[in-house]
Amino acid sequence: MYRFRYLILIICFCLFLTGCWDSHDIEQLNIHVGTALDKASSSTSNGKQQSKNAIKLTTQSIFNTQPTTESDQANQEPQKYINISGVGNSIIEIVQSFSQENEHPSYGQHLKVIVIGEALAKTMNIGEILDQHSRTYEIRDSCILLVAEGSAADTLNIHTDIPSFTLIDIDQHQYKTAKLLPPLTIGKAVSKMAAHKDFIIQGVQTKKGKINFNRAALIKGGTNRLVGFLNEEEIEGLNWLMGKAKGGIIKGRDPKTGGLIMYEIVSVKNKITPYLNGDHISFDVNIESVGRLNEDWVLAGNAFSNKFIKRAEIATEKEVRRQIHQTLTKLQKYQIDVAGFNEQFRIHYPKEWKRMKKDWDKRFSHVPITYHIHTTIRDYMVKGRKEISK
């Protein structure tokens, strides 16, 4: 009897321990790490019939680098990635076509970044473009979204080890500069599009194999199309406005001597207060920042004295004020509210918001916004002055 039981047990083991239906050897996988989406140019009709809304998808996969035995390749460092592109009307049909061209199947679980080309973002709904990526179980919502000025495929061709990783690494540098937006994940973007909200995506520019994160793409909610770009200064202004700046430098001018004063941001806090008077909306923004004096070009500047510190603070506030003004002017011109004014209005006036959300962008474009900036220079590091007065 017992022997019979053991036999059943062994058979069960054989059944359940033999392995997994879904196992794939890691060497056999084509691991996608980055994807670039572009508008297909009409000339790239490689025999196939393409309708006018065709997309060109370029994916970057990393693979297991094997030491090559061929002598001419020995002194050359092997490339660690490979870019494949395809053209089609839907994302999945392009990705599937890769399985017909490559020996290794596509594997999207480690996709880290999606770059959308400017031309594509201007003409097509980003919500539709990203539908496959946000629906499939393979791709995580933590994947980062970027917009490329010009061609998106070029961003995956820059001269670095693995371009996709360079892209996401640069995108994490907010603690060093205020000229970068916080990374936007595909999950957050999809949530914003579901709510018909305007949003902003970090832009990248490629020139001669080098990359620069110096723009930000404004996306209009509802249509989800790119309508314009912010430049570096405007991104900085936006970061101040949203209280999202975590580091970086403000370049002020000393009101007395005109010398440069460099203020290093340690923290920024903001408070947006909406006011509603009848149908008249107005906003009041209070920004408080703590930082330190990092560099000054004022020879007689004495940071041991509070007088000079005060001057430096005024210089900084003036510069921040200028940047914020520039940003707000542009946002109101484009009728795009990405600084969170709509959120604050929704929170403070939920009933009125229900009525006003439909034409919010229009209202926002002529809403008066006042802002108060207060900076505190907490310290000046290890040196307070350059010379002692005679």
Partner 1 sequence: MMKQKDRITTTQMAIYVSTHMTALGILTLPRVVTATTQTPDGWISVLLSGLVINLFAIVLVKLCQRFPQESFYQYNPKIIGKWFGILLSFSLITYFILLGSFEIRGMAEVTHLYLLPRTPFMATIIPFICLGVYLTVGGINPLVRLFEVLFTPSILIFIIVILLSLKTFEPNNIRPVLGQGILPVIKGMQPTALALTGPETMLVVFSFMKEPQKGIKAITLGIATPLFFYIMTTIFTLGSLGVAGVQTKTWPVLSLFRQFEYTGIIFERFETFMLAIWILQIFTTFVTCLYVSALGFSQIFKKEIKPFIFGLAPFMYVISLSPKNINDFFHLGDFLGYVGIAFIIVVPSIMIIIAMLRGKKHVPAS
> Residue 243, interface with partner 1 (CB under 8 A)?
no
Residues numbered 43-102 forming contacts with partner 1, rule: CB under 8 A:
none
CB 61 within 8 A of CB 33: yes
Establish if 221 lies at the interface with partner 1 (CB under 8 A): no
**Which range in 59-67, 138-146, 254-262, 283-291 contacts partner 1 by CB under 8 A?**
138-146
Among 232, 233, 264, 343, binds partner 1 (CB under 8 A): 343
Say how far apart CA 313 and CA 257 lie, in whole Å: 14
Q: Which stretch binds partner 1 (CB under 8 A): 17-25, 51-59, 309-317, 370-378?
A: 17-25
- For residue 207, give every residue at least 6 positions away whose Cβ sits within 8 Å of its Cβ, in sequence order, or none: none
**Least gap, CB of 138 to partner 1 (angstroms):** 8
Nearer to partner 1, 44 or 99 (CB): 99
In the complex, the smallest distance separating the C-beta of residue 18 from partner 1, rounded to whole angstroms, is 11
Burial class (CB in 10 A: 0-12, 13-18, 19+), 357: middle
Q: Determine if 292 is a binding residue for partner 1 (CB under 8 A).
A: no
Query: In the complex, what is the shortest distance from the CB of residue 344 to partner 1, in angstroms, rounded to a whole number?
Result: 8
8 Å CB contact between 149 and 215: yes
Q: Is 140 in the site for partner 1 (CB under 8 A)?
A: yes
351 is an interface residue for partner 1 by CB under 8 A? yes
* Three-state SS at 67: coil
Could you tell me if 380 and 303 are in contact, meaning their C-beta atoms sit under 8 angstroms apart?
Answer: yes
Which of 54, 49, 50, 51 shows the shortest CA–CA distance to 39? Answer: 54
Report if residue 22 touches partner 1, rule: CB under 8 A: yes
Indicate the residue among 297 and 353 with the shorter CB distance to partner 1.
353
Q: Does 274 bind partner 1 (CB under 8 A)?
A: no
In the complex, least distance from residue 251 CB atom to partner 1, rounded to whole angstroms: 31
Site for partner 1 in 168-197 (CB under 8 A): 185, 187-188, 190-192, 194-196
| C-alpha dihedral sign at 11, 15, 16, 18 | positive
Please report how close the Cβ of residue 359 comes to partner 1 at its closest, in angstroms: 18
CA distance 79 to 77: 6
Nearer to partner 1 among residue 89 and residue 142 (C-beta): 142
Question: If binding is defined by CB under 8 A, does position 20 make contact with partner 1?
Answer: yes
CA atoms within 13 A on the CB side of 379: 4
Across 180-224, the runs of DSSP E, i.e. the strands, are: 199-207, 210-220
- Sign, CA dihedral 44-46-49-54, equals negative
347/381 with CB nearer partner 1: 347
* Three-state DSSP state, 294: strand
2 binds partner 1 (CB under 8 A): no
Beta pairing partners, 31? 62, 107
Q: How far is the CB of 141 from partner 1 (least distance, A)?
A: 5
Q: Give, as one character, the DSSP assignment of residue 283.
A: E
Which tokens go with 80? 């660690």
Q: Does 137 bind partner 1 (CB under 8 A)?
A: yes
By CB under 8 A, is residue 357 in contact with partner 1?
no
Nearer to partner 1, 20 or 382 (CB): 20
Give how many residues touch partner 1 by CB under 8 A: 26
Helices and strands in the chain, H and E counts: 13, 13
| Angle between helix 232-242 and helix 306-334 axes, rounded to 10 deg | 100
> By the criterion CB under 8 A, which residues form the site for partner 1?
16, 20-22, 137, 140-142, 185, 187-188, 190-192, 194-196, 340, 343-344, 346-348, 350-351, 354
